Chains A and B, each alone.
Chain A
Amino acid sequence: MLGMWKTNAPDEFVSVKFDMEMREGSSPSDGASSTPNSSGRRRNSAEAKEGLGFIMCKRLVQMMQGNIWISLNPLASAQSMTLVLRFQNRPSYGRATFAPGSSSEQPSSNPQFRGLRVILADDDALNRAVTKKLLEKLGCEVTAVSSGFECLSALNSAENSVRLVVLDIQMPEMDGFEVATRIRKVRSRSWPLIIAVTASAEDNVWERCLQMGMNGMIRKPVLLQGMADELQRVLQRAGEGL
């Protein structure tokens, strides 16, 4: 009989329990031996005689953060053995598709980006035009806006269909950080995804971006390959549930 349950511990671990029934006359190969007690006195499992093999198993299992024990029947003979194994929760490597071919292929051949709905916010007309074209070249469907306010209202009216927001950090009135904070107040960490665009060469910009709930960052000037790489990285991480 096999059962699985989650402990009260933080969701880091999952336990799997094996219950093995032991019928009379049969014994596990390295089995525990038990002596029927003719006086009928019950013994707890800790007092049951354990074979060397079983002791070794027990040691190994406990080293692996699990446990193994024998349950006795009222006659103090081995009734069942229980094995508990503990596994660490790992993100599943889901259905994220990897770009076909080598990196020497045109970034526009990546099928992942086709039809990806993007809102682009940049107050500079020139940068907006270039970045929009760049994203379209990669296959995205882009709505370009020129301020943080427009970005938020575009997101609201689009409901849940926008997958990604590309955000210039240095915008007057409402900067990218504030936009991201407002988005994350009402939306989950991975929908929509947010990629920051910054001219800053400072090291701690990335940390700030992360703190504000952003998923990626690109430095200006924005290059086709650079955007493709960061887009792919961000989508992949989202697919892994990180």
Chain B
Amino acid sequence: MDSVVQLQRQLVDYTVQLFNEGFLDDQFNQLQQLQDESNPDFVVEVVTLFFEDSERLLDELAKALEQQSVDYTKIDAHVHQLKGSSSSIGAQRVQKVCIGFRNFCEERNIEGCQKCLHQVKREYSLVKTKLETLFKLERKVLAAGGSIPWPM
């Protein structure tokens, strides 16, 4: 069983890595700043909202791109939403793909859009896994009696 200090070390290292690789940006720090004793699960709650939102949007996007006659306005609206929520939690790589996605929508470029959908699905899946790992590490630290050292 790892000691508290070791667990904290793991958590910090993992978090720093996520920031370095661009999965998370400063907005994620902002969320951590908002968490306090009155709302100790704030970050997890908001990120869970993000997961639910994104999965719904990705489904809608896939459906919309399969249509005979593609509704680019609708697709753009979905991507705009995804861009907004990913930016609100600091999921930087997802947000970046959304920017390119919107450009292809404007150009009504079906291939570009399909490529972006594929990319954004991949980035979303990656950041989801990473955040779930991060939260697991946090729970381990807390269970061992330690506290989360934020900001890192």
Q: Which of A170, A220, A224 contacts B88 (CB 8 A)?
A: A220
Give the Cβ gap from B128 to chain A, nearest Cβ, in Å: 14
The chain B residue with its CB closest to the CB of A107 is B33
Q: Which of A133, A223, A224 contacts B42 (CB 8 A)?
A: A133
Q: Does chain A have a CB within 8 A of B30?
A: yes
Cβ–Cβ contact B53 & A125, under 8 A: yes
Cβ–Cβ contact A130 & B84, under 8 A: no
- The residues of A that contact B50 with a CB separation of less than 8 Å are 126
CA distance in complex: A224, B29 (Å): 11
Q: Does chain B have a CB within 8 A of A229?
A: no
A133-B39, A221-B27 known; A127 vs B84 contact (CB < 8 Å): yes
Interface residues of B in 65-117 (CB under 8 A from A): 80-81, 83-85, 87-90
Q: Does chain B have a CB within 8 A of A134?
A: yes
- The residues of B that contact A137 with a CB separation of less than 8 Å are 33-34, 36
Q: Which of B34, B36, B45, B88 contacts A221 (CB 8 A)?
A: B88
- The residues of B that contact A125 with a CB separation of less than 8 Å are 49, 53
A125-B49, A125-B53, A221-B27 known; A130 vs B33 contact (CB < 8 Å): no
Q: Does chain A have a CB within 8 A of B16?
A: no
A133-B39, A133-B42, A221-B27 known; A126 vs B85 contact (CB < 8 Å): yes
Question: Number of B interface residues, CB 8 Å?
Answer: 22
Q: Which of B34, B83, B84, B90 contacts A134 (CB 8 A)?
A: B34
CA distance in complex: A221, B24 (Å): 14
Scan B10-47; emit 1 where CB is below 8 A from any A CB, else 0. 00000000000000000100110110100100100110
Scan A183-200; emit 1 where CB is below 8 A from any B CB, else 0. 000000000000000010
Question: Number of A interface residues, CB 8 Å?
Answer: 16
Cβ–Cβ contact B46 & A126, under 8 A: yes
- The residues of B that contact A199 with a CB separation of less than 8 Å are 80, 83-84, 87
- The residues of B that contact A127 with a CB separation of less than 8 Å are 84-85, 88
Ordered by A's residue number, 18 sampled pairs between the chains whose C-beta atoms are within 8 Å are A124-B81, A124-B85, A126-B50, A126-B85, A126-B89, A129-B45, A130-B46, A130-B89, A134-B34, A137-B33, A137-B36, A199-B84, A220-B84, A221-B27, A222-B88, A223-B27, A223-B30, A224-B33
Q: Beyond A221-B30, A224-B34, list 14 extra A-B contacts (CB 8 Å).
A: A126-B50, A126-B53, A126-B88, A127-B85, A129-B45, A129-B46, A129-B49, A133-B39, A134-B34, A199-B84, A199-B87, A220-B87, A221-B88, A224-B33
